[in-house]
Structure 1
């Protein structure tokens, strides 16, 4: 990725809005207030379906002339792949990985930053997690859209929420992403949060 101006920081709440096309999933990342009112478009992202090695780039403009950050798999797409979040200059700002064994019962992700910070994200509702898995195995029914919304909370070892993703009902997939400040004032980089949020939609079935 080429160099770009330093991104803004300190966003507490984002909205991720998906637009489906034939071969590409497109996402808009917006800043919102506590009431969900849009405060401005931050960036766009695209994910090519059936990619040999997963990579998603976030751009400042719809023309895709200025990359801002992105994430890519550390290997050819498989169940054990991890994903590195990189800034516009290619420097790591975070990473995430799906915990395959834990996800058999309840989808689980591990999220971290280069300074050694880690947290774990799980589906908020364990009962919905079970229902989704049963739905996938029922003949014919499993080919229909899952009728239950699923949400995620990312927590530190002491239970503090670092990031939450809440899916809203609508014709388009829309997620509200909260990035609360911790007791020491630290907040997860919004770019890492946006990358994880898009991954929860784009890679959840893998």
Structure 2
């Protein structure tokens, strides 16, 4: 049984994308708001998550990184409002030939590998991106499901259950998973569209 379920919904497009992060309402739908994310589409790939809708209380910041194991990846690091490192994640290019593969690392939890469950869906999504320069169409038309595991055991999953709905469901199987870097990962995956 899953420990908990969360939801991320994109609420705006354009050069500034907004997201609402929610707890589950008990019926599989978004309930109480837990945070709000803001992603600027610019050369510096940075993302902020706030505790309030007015975006006055910053919880975490995500920045591109080229340190350590992230150097070989398109990697990101997640910091709290005091600058403390909470976790990191990135795409594994060599393992992403058939299905996009992410790696997620959290202090005390270890390194997890997240792979798309369906090769067929992964190929369909990639085919669409060939004809879609901004990634929005591909992101809207194709569902996806990433399973993050450690030693073959599921730790959490991120999936897009519906077509034409920018809604993402996070299912967590271990309480040890820090929700803040997990939320940052889910938003980053959506913002990249092709990842």
Please give the TM-score of this superposition, normalised by the length of structure 2.
0.85
RMSD of Structure 2 on Structure 1 (CA): 2.6
Task: Report how many aligned residue pairs link the two structures.
Answer: 187
Give the Cα–Cα distance (whole angstroms) in 1 for the partners of residues 191 and 169 of structure 2: 16
Residue 153 (structure 1) aligned with residue 147 (structure 2): yes
Measured after TM superposition, the shift of residue 81 of structure 1 is 2.9
Q: Contact (CA 8 Å) 2:103, 2:111: kept in 1 or not?
A: yes
What corresponds to 1:58 in structure 2?
49
Structure 1 residue ranges, 4+ long, deviating more than 4 angstroms after superposition: none
What residue ranges of structure 1 are gaps of 5+ in the alignment?
A: 1-10
Q: Write 1 or 2 for the structure with the bigger share of strand.
A: 2
Pairwise mapping of residues 32-111 of structure 1 onto structure 2 (< 5 A)? Answer: 32-49=24-41, 51-74=42-65, 80-111=73-104
Distance 1:180 1:18 in 2: 24
Q: CA 1:144–1:87 in structure 2 vs 1: closer, same or farther (change >3 Å)?
A: closer
Query: How far off its partner does 1:195 sit?
Result: 0.8
Q: Separation in 1 of the partners of 2:129 and 2:31? A: 37
> What CA distance in whole angstroms lies between the structure 2 residues aligned with 1:178 and 1:74?
26
State the distance in 2 between where 1:13 and 1:86 align: 23
**Residues 46 and 61, structure 2, Cα contact 8 Å, conserved in 1:** yes
Find 1:177's aligned residue among 158, 170, 175: 170
Q: Which has the higher helix share?
A: 2
1:143 Cα deviation (Å)? 7.8
- 1:34 shift after superposition: 4.8
Of 177, 190, 195 in structure 2, the residue corresponding to residue 201 of structure 1 is 190
Note the C-alpha offset of 1:42. 0.5
Q: TM-score, normalised by structure 1?
A: 0.80
Instruction: Decide whether aligned partners of structure 1 residues 79 and 199 sit closer, same or farther in structure 2, where only a CA change above 3 A counts.
Output: farther
